[in-house]
Amino acid sequence: MQIAAVNALAAIQCFAVKSNRGEVYGLKQSSKTALGGIVAALSISLMFIVSVIPLFTYALPAAVAILIVPVIIEINKKWALGVYAAVSILAVMLVPNKEVAVIYAAFFGYYPIIKAIIEKRLPKVFGWLVKIIIFNSTMFISYYLMLKFMGIKIDELESLGVYAIPILLSMGSVAFVLYDYALSKIISIYIVKWQSRFRKLFK
């Protein structure tokens, strides 16, 4: 699995390498590739857990997305986008639970990248509005496509009837806000406590 992750990452490398100027802390090319391969392999491995513990169907893609944070901080956003693309392709191909793969590929996998861009360029209130709109629209479209073309069933749609979609989107929005807050805290902890150790390890 690690070999597949590195190979997929290498196929996207040319796209990321062009964007490294001015944004990179100083990692060598081999270190960048190693970091991307480790993140990709670990992400796919964790998504396989849902095959054993289905209760993590929604939480795990969100947790796996956190792994891409060091790539954003230590290399750059475009390299992180390449890692996200590699993980998404491998997840759709290899992970038995396709719902997990779609949730990751459709939103959570690239959300830390979008979060960094939005929080850098937009005012806080408007930024929150944009993030919530992106979350809800992406989740709605993703589940519509999964229901329509992948045969995935959602029990809540039957039990809640016509109120299912607004209720689920409202609950999802609350969970997303909490996730975004937790992600911000994790990023802060990484920068304060882990970044120096991380850089020594991959320099």
Every domain of the chain and the residues it spans: 2-202
> Average pLDDT over the chain, rounded to whole?
81
Specify the pLDDT at position 41: 93
CA distance 17 to 21: 8
Specify the pLDDT at position 202: 73
pTM of the model: 0.80
Specify the pLDDT at position 196: 85
- The CA-based angle 61-86-15, given to 5 degrees, is 130
Specify the pLDDT at position 152: 63
Cα torsion angle, 165, 166, 169, 171, sign:
negative
Specify the pLDDT at position 159: 62
pLDDT in tens, 143-168: 778 777 666 666 555 565 556 677 77
pLDDT in tens, 81-101: 999 999 999 999 999 888 889
CA distance 117 to 188: 16
Give the mean model confidence (pLDDT) for residues 1-28: 50
Would you say residue 114 has pLDDT above 60? yes
Between residues 107 and 29, the one the model is more confident about: 107
Between residues 19 and 94, the one the model is more confident about: 94
CA distance 24 to 59: 31
Would you say residue 139 has pLDDT above 90? no
Please give the C-alpha separations between residue 140 and each of 89, 134, 144, 154, 166, in angstroms, as whole numbers: 21, 10, 6, 13, 10
- The CA-based angle 57-90-157, given to 5 degrees, is 30
**Which amino acid is residue 48, in one-letter code?**
F
